[in-house]
Amino acid sequence: MSIPETGSHGDNRPSMFALDEEKQAILDQADRYGRNELYPLAERMDREEWWPSEAFRKIGDSGFFGATIPEEFGGAGMDLTSAGLVLQGFARWNHALALSWVAHDNLCANNIYRNGNDQQRRKYLPDLCAGRTVGALGLTEPGAGSDALGSMRTTARRDGDHYVLNGGKIYITNGPVADVLLVYAKTDRDKGAHGISAFIVEKDFPGFKVAQKLTKMGYRGSPTAELVFEDCRVPAENLVGGENRGVSIVMSGLDLERAMISPLCLGISERALELSIDYAQTRQQFGKPIGSFQMVQSMLADMYVQVETMRTFTYRTLAEAAPLEVGGGGRGDIHKLTAASVMFAAEACHKVLDLAVQIHGGSGYIWESEINRLFRSTKLLEIGAGTTEVRKMIIAGELLKGDARHG
């Protein structure tokens, strides 16, 4: 079965909230690719924490990388909303690969495009867009989670034509398999959070190593690592955006990341609703389908409302974040909106999956079931890219600034 498209009318009039024909085609193409190519990999990825090494190249060959990057650098030349639709379509069928996709395409490749110089773009983006290389972002450190900037201990000092990096990063999506990493380090300790710079690090640079691959509760096929830099020598030409300019890169990048996590939640929730409807129609108890029981119908209705509300908020936020200029994030309405969107999407996704497991009963509690796999994915989205609590602080802080301006 398929989930009805949002915003359709019985007389076939388009809704102002529906995707236009071009955007709907992007979502449909990603959905088909996810169902045909990525879904068959999902069970083994979860069971074995297996990384399908050829998957990224095939995704690249199919044109699903470099969504927001111009064609001259190997990208698809689309907007952020289109990138979100690709992610949504993939997340329906293989949320682990979808997470690796967004870490590669948005956190790494798009960051290099938005903040790098022309030489850096031409050197790294074509291979990232083609899936020949795997990208990652290195921000979070041991002991520095929500205060990632203020507590950063990784340092970079200039040594001739190189910077020498020392420190470590943790919980890095794609870390064990990444070829290219955008890494943040302190170049001026006296400036605190404003003394941070961004660097492009290649896996073969001397002094860089993957300390350990981390075993996770969910997204098990998306590899996560602790990284170590021990006198890691990075060419000075790999400095991104200028020395001590890392804060603006981080903050605008985080707003885009938060906007892009919401469609991940949406795709997962859509699949959970679909599975739950199917189960309610086929599972027999007391001589009839459980979908005929009002309490099961109540749960399905609640799930549907969460999914459709998430869809509307997600699409609005993607559209408003799309024109975000370099350095333009980290403040104002877009900072508030992206935090609100991902906060709602993550919490709604959690609610949807909780109800989905309840509908599935004992079968939903079994580790190998698809609904259990989806359920185990939910908590990360309430933690990653700023916890729910940090998102609330951002929203309230911007609201109170607004009150002060207009008071």
Residues 52-94 pLDDT 10s: 999 999 999 999 999 999 999 999 999 999 999 999 999 999 9
- Coil/strand/helix, residue 16: coil
Confidence check: pLDDT of 379 > 70: yes
CB-facing half-sphere around the CA of 275: CA atoms within 13 A? 26
Report pLDDT for 8: 40
CA-based nearest residue to 185, from 163, 156, 148, 150? 156
Within 283-387, residue ranges assigned H as helices are: 294-321, 332-360, 370-375
- In whole angstroms, give the CA distance from residue 110 to residue 178: 15
Q: How far apart are CA 341 and CA 349, in angstroms?
A: 12
Give which of 343, 350, 372, 341 is closest to 303, Cα–Cα. 350
Catalytic residue among 257, 270, 347, 398: 257
User: b vs e for 70-104, b when ≥16 Cβ sit within 10 Å of the residue's Cβ?
Assistant: eeebbbbebbbbbbbbbbbbbbbbbbbbbbbbbbb
The pLDDT of residue 13: 42
Work out the pLDDT band at 257, boundaries 50, 70, 90.
confident
- Average pLDDT over every residue of 285-297: 93
pTM for the whole structure = 0.91
More confident residue, 394 or 332: 394
Residues in CB range of 35: below 8 A, 6 or more apart: 92, 93
* pLDDT tens readout for residues 142-177: 876 666 666 789 999 999 999 999 999 999 999 999
Place of tokens 């794609």: 174
- CA distances (Å), origin 33, targets 2, 61, 192, 376: 15, 12, 45, 24
Residue-level pLDDT at 120:
97
In the residue annotation, 257 being an active-site residue is answered as yes
Q: Are 187 and 156 in contact (CB under 8 A)?
A: yes
Nearest C-alpha neighbor of 380 from the set 173, 111, 183, 110: 173
Number of residues that make up the chain: 407
Q: Contact 371/357 with Cβ under 8 angstroms?
A: yes
